[in-house]
A and B are shown apart, each in its own frame.
Chain A
């Protein structure tokens, strides 16, 4: 499952073509991806290799978002790898090692092309890839791992006997009876931070068991550098519009922060709403106030306290379980200003709003009435607190995909001007649900008008479900 291949750079230089096409194309299971794939591939292979790898990276990202332990992450990733991208040890003679490692190699480079284009994509790609590399490194056969390490120049210096005895006392307090390597300390900031090395004159003396740290660090630094270079080269790619659409497609899902967009994920149990589904629901069923909060969250990867509270309670009533809520917020904050503070600060607040901390009260979600008097454009009722211009723009951008036309705007604005904000909201509901035969004046059902964001959303989802079930009924077993 793990990939392996790396052609050794040295071999390559010594016998360029021969080594490349020879049997030793990928002598190691681990790969530092120093050399790009130079072989011909079909467009289909190009895409499938990338998609398969993406599934694995998606799983790794979602493991981090779900706060899985390292062991869990490892085993989950392992399973995914076996399924989509098996990579065997050299001892597995029955496998077509070359094909496995070739796929690994190709997939990596295709995704590099797709994910080099923005700082955020690069950062996330490096994080996921280096986690994958770590998992493979840890699972690798120790002999083969050593061979891999020997095959590459990591630019570390073995501490010789004289030096060992000079610093015997200091080194032994770091680690006893071990070989030490010397590297510039800047290459192992993680070890320095935890005082796991001995530091002298800018050199870090790294005990052999921490060697992996140097390898991972190198992998990350190198990949980040390569991605930046790819980014600069990409505009000059002489491309015949077969590949670019594929690349665009690949990174789109990645950007929205939802692995299920990369690859369709398994739907939750009946009626259960998972973190991954929030984006879809927001698109189709939210009232404007919640859409606004959701968009701000996606845009800034952050919300301020009252915005969080309002939106968080809304999600709770919508049916997000506490675990899913934490997953949702953690993912949403990734890349934002409060990412590192998440566990310390925000998790508590989320649990608090679910009645699991502090006074353990079961807080209700904010109603329209509360939002109308909140006196804030960021989390209050947009019909009331947005300026007319902004409101029009917001309405059109939020609902034009659901059938709101600019010709409907004057009517809505008229009610807003006469300060009947809930009527305006109700009218928008009617217009955007006309596909379900909601007529003017019917409101969210039997003439009821909107009084609560959750009521709006629940009614909207009900209608969609009813239509779907009808469809199913009509078509019988033919559709699945």
Chain B
């Protein structure tokens, strides 16, 4: 039924998008969130916006002085989506008046992008653009691990998680220190947090330790979390080692030929045994081959089992997005052009309950608007019709997040004032 209804509204049509921007898009909230205060500051006025308009024309380096100008232009251009970039030294629209080397990005939220496609080599339920509740578990695990790690290790507090509208999730970190990071420091964060090196070759390998030395403490904490979900997600739900291709890639990760040969023999004769059985086989095989507990081989093998768990469950980041300040990222509350779903904020503490297919679509929202209808038709144009639709809880979530940010900015300002 839901699928049928979505088809009724053509997401790509200009009219639909225009109505969406005029009546539903929470410009004020977005403004407050990127501006960190109520009066327009450099964080907003020197900020780049990039629009994708019809025929895939891409307009970069737009900037606006006020939120009204911002809204007016978005409605004028009715982009299918738009992206938020960095704060530059000069207003991006005036960049041609500045010397070439004087136009540089200076600040930007620290952003992360996790995309389901990076999990294609391991997930068995969907592939490419598809996503279901089952593969969302990967994302949920990634969110939990990253959210904890970033708060605890880097000490950042203002994290906004946003569903990307299809099969991924974005993270925007707005702490002052995070905004100020240079590219080198961003790269360091990414590498600190990356375990599975992304690449086209499917044999993504985990390189986090030297020899069989213990895991670094940051990963130890992540592993403790991931060990819990590994049996449910990888062994039962996804059944990653069920097929021949699946178990061969598992065997590739085991550094001991004796064990590999034993297991391959076992599994070739019974290729359909479940992943849990295979995982148990692996444990038994290790015990059988190296019965003494203090055998150094045992240490190597248990280290490699930990690495396997990391490889299958640890967050896979799209590193390029995070490394450079001038990378653009789709703004929250945009509509995904393929699915029609709105990119809504997600509460990381309830990430497991989040269902991507329950996210409102633009068609659904417009029908809700129609339903509340023409009762006050002759009033002035409504700027916050979203309050009366199912978009409301999500906008409230963003506003609450922004409130925390603003409180901190205000506190800082007060401290500066009194320091005289």
Contacts and interface: CB of A to CB of B under 8 A. Distances in A.
Interface of A: 118-119, 169-170, 173-174, 185-186, 189-190, 192-195, 198-203
B152 A201 contact: yes
26 contacts: A118-B101, A170-B217, A174-B217, A185-B154, A185-B188, A186-B181, A189-B184, A189-B187, A189-B188, A192-B191, A193-B187, A193-B191, A193-B192, A194-B191, A195-B192, A195-B208, A195-B218, A198-B217, A199-B192, A201-B152, A201-B153, A201-B154, A201-B155, A202-B154, A202-B155, A202-B177
Contact of A173 (B185, B187, B192, B216): B216
Nearest to A189: B188
Contact of A192 (B101, B155, B188, B220): B188
Contact of B101 (A119, A186, A190, A199): A119
Contact of B189 (A192, A194, A198): A192
A234 to B, nearest CB: 15
A193 B188 contact: yes
Interface in B167-206: 177, 181, 184-185, 187-189, 191-192
B291 interface: no
B94 to A, nearest CB: 21
Contact of A174 (B154, B177, B216): B216
Nearest to A194: B191
Contacts of B192: 192-193, 195, 199
B7 to A, nearest CB: 44
B214 interface: yes
Contacts of B215: 173
Summarize A's interface: helix, strand, loop or mixed: helix
A186 B189 CA distance: 9
Given A189-B187, A193-B191, A200 B153 contact: yes
Contacts, number: 53
A174 B101 CA distance: 41
Given A174-B216, A189-B187, 18 more contacts: A118-B101, A173-B215, A173-B216, A186-B177, A189-B184, A192-B188, A192-B192, A193-B187, A193-B188, A193-B191, A194-B191, A195-B216, A198-B218, A201-B153, A201-B154, A202-B153, A202-B155, A202-B177
User: Size class of B's contact patch?
Assistant: 20 to 34
Contacts of B214: 173
A351 B217 CA distance: 43
Given A185-B154, A202-B177, A169 B101 contact: no
B223 to A, nearest CB: 13
B72 to A, nearest CB: 37
A199 B154 contact: yes
Nearest to B218: A199
Given A186-B185, A189-B185, A169 B217 contact: yes
Nearest to B154: A202
A189 B181 CA distance: 10
A195 B185 CA distance: 13
A173 B220 CA distance: 10
A119 B218 CA distance: 37
Contacts of A173: 214-217, 220
Contacts of A118: 101
A202 to B, nearest CB: 3
A170 B221 CA distance: 10
B177 A190 contact: no
Given A170-B217, A173-B217, A193-B191, A199 B184 contact: no
B110 to A, nearest CB: 11
Contacts of A185: 154, 188
Contacts of A194: 191
Interface centre among A169, A189, A194, by most B CB within 10 Å?
A189
Contacts of A170: 217
A119 B192 CA distance: 29
A314 B184 CA distance: 37
Contacts of B181: 186
Interface string B95-106: 000000100000
Nearest to B181: A186
A190 B220 CA distance: 21
Contacts of B187: 189, 193
Contacts of B177: 186, 202
B299 to A, nearest CB: 15
B195 to A, nearest CB: 10
Contacts of A199: 153-154, 192, 218
Contacts of A202: 153-156, 177
Contacts of B154: 185, 199, 201-202
A352 to B, nearest CB: 21
Interface in B120-165: 152-156
A284 B189 CA distance: 49
Interface centre among A170, A174, A186, A194, by most B CB within 10 Å?
A186
Nearest to A200: B153
